[in-house]
Amino acid sequence: MPQPPFAKVLVANRGEIARRVFRTCAEHGIATVAVYSTADADAPHVSDADEAYCIGPPTAAESYLRVEAVIDAARRSGADAIHPGYGFLSERPELVAACEAAGITFVGPPVRAMTVMGDKVQARRAMIEAGVPVVPGVEDVPDAQAALAVVDEIGLPAMIKASAGGGGKGMRIVHAREDVVGAFEGAQREAIAAFGDGRVFIERAVMRARHVEIQVMADQHGACVGVGERDCSVQRRHQKVIEEAPCPSRQMTPEVRASMIEVATRVAAAVDYVGAGTVEYLFEETPQGANFFFLEMNTRLQVEHPVTEAVYGHDLVWDQLRVAAGEPLGYTQQDIVPRGHAVECRIYAEDPVSFLPRPGTVTSLRWPEGGIVRVDAAVEEGSEVSSYYDPMVAKLTCWAPDRAAAVARMQTALAQTVILGLQTNIALHQRILAEPDFATGLDVTTRYIEHHPEVLEPPAALDPEAPPSEQAIAVAAAAAVVAAQSSPPAASRDAGPSSSGGAWAQSARWRR
């Protein structure tokens, strides 16, 4: 086995992404270090690592967001690299600077790239200078009266966004002039509360567009490759629910894909990018053809990276580690060839209609078995889903030779999944996958859920006199099996390296 790029890697994160990074490290002989809050003392990611260090109380501000605590844990453990995962400190330049000061390698981009792309206004200006297409708009709108003037200039509908925003916070769509002042002030208040930064910009709202993103990977020697595209259009409250690769639009021709990749690599080059990043676009389908506009760049690994790994055959975490250590990327744009189709469903502990979090304890758990599905799980049986953190408990990813088969496999995987003790959004996924427009993939935009309210309809109340359905019998039987066993079969878990090679080896079997 060749010498690994690092001897020991600390993951400054929790949940499924920490476990995901640990898997790749273990497969390549790299020792691993977990950090955890007191609320996560018994969390699965802690037991997955070779070492673990407590970094503070339950709230993120006192633990996972404390740069000094993460650096201290790295020093105590002797870790020579820190992988930030996603969320928390993953896009905070202060962690990069602290790593440099401590002589620890940060697995991600340099400070400048993160600083420019972390601010939507700076990113927008940089992209205009680089000749990248952006949605018409105005940056740094100072007050509500200025917002009215901007709307009069660019027209309605308009999108009001927090400059330092993300995750849908500080974002408003306005359709009428009389709503501009209230929407602007509301976005500004939310931006101050969420990011401590009340700056706002306004751009034309592209109302019928897909959310399509290009995965980029760049090394320290000037090489940058676009590892295909993902379609992340099914969203609730501007947050993704289902992702897939490649994009199923008929207007995603090889020529359009090549153009989007060329622009994405130009975006990365404009900020001297290194590592894994994602350039996000609004993809507008018109009778004349496709238009795409730069939306933002996420300077980290994305939640939805498994669909790219399944279709394009690259372990993106391994690529991150290699290029962070100074190794050349080792492949070119010509080597990126899609094979088949992949779909990912994010499983949240939340109400599938209101989307409100539903924390609790996983009393019984059974994941789908077999080679049709990859499970990236944050929980095990007995795990506590805390109100302190994001309520995502797992991601299911299915690959198949074509989209219809991938969707069918996902329907099977969801039906086989049993999570007792928590309310989850599995029913929402099942309704979306069965809905005709999603099934064809041809009329799906970022307003899909808004335009298909039937997928939010709760199941009809049960008739106590009616015989149980086949699905109810199947779920009850699966729950009984889970309850009768002390733990799920090793083959059904995706918690670490195994004799079969882990999740990455499994995804290779899908492609074959």
**Largest pairwise CA distance in the chain:** 69
> Is beta strand 239-245 parallel, antiparallel or unpaired with respect to 384-385?
unpaired
Measured CA to CA, the distance from residue 141 to residue 336 in angstroms comes to 41
Cis status, amide bond into 157, omega within 30 of 0: yes
CA distance readout (Å), 409 to 369, 395, 426? 12, 14, 14
Measured CA to CA, the distance from residue 125 to residue 37 in angstroms comes to 38
Measured CA to CA, the distance from residue 39 to residue 152 in angstroms comes to 50
Neighbour count for residue 124 (Cβ, 10 Å): 23
- Burial class of 509 by CB neighbour count within 10 A (0 to 12, 13 to 18, 19+): exposed
Measured CA to CA, the distance from residue 216 to residue 261 in angstroms comes to 8
Contact between 218 and 274 (Cβ < 8 Å):
yes
Question: Left if phi > 0, otherwise alpha if psi is -120 to 50, otherwise beta: which for 88?
Answer: left
Measured CA to CA, the distance from residue 206 to residue 75 in angstroms comes to 47
SS3 state at 250:
coil
Q: Which residue has the tokens 């969801």?
A: 414
Full DSSP string of 301-365? --TTHHHHHHHH---HHHHHHHHHTT------GGG----SEEEEEEEESB-TTT--B--EE--EE
Beta strands in 120-163 (DSSP E): 137-138, 158-162
Chain-centre distance of CA 399, in angstroms? 18
Question: Is 403 a residue of the active site?
Answer: no
CA distance readout (Å), 84 to 13, 163, 305? 6, 23, 15
Q: Which of 236, 300, 346, 403 is catalytic?
A: 300
Cross-strand pairs, 343: 244, 398
Cα-trace Rg, the chain: 22
Contact between 122 and 132 (Cβ < 8 Å):
no
User: 279: part of which helix (H) or strand (E)?
Assistant: strand 275-286
403-416 vs 426-434: helix axis angle to the nearest 10?
Answer: 150
Residue 89, both tokens: 């400190």
Angle at CA of residue 81, ends 389 and 39, nearest 5°: 25
Instruction: Give the residue numbers annotated as catalytic, written as ranges.
Output: 300
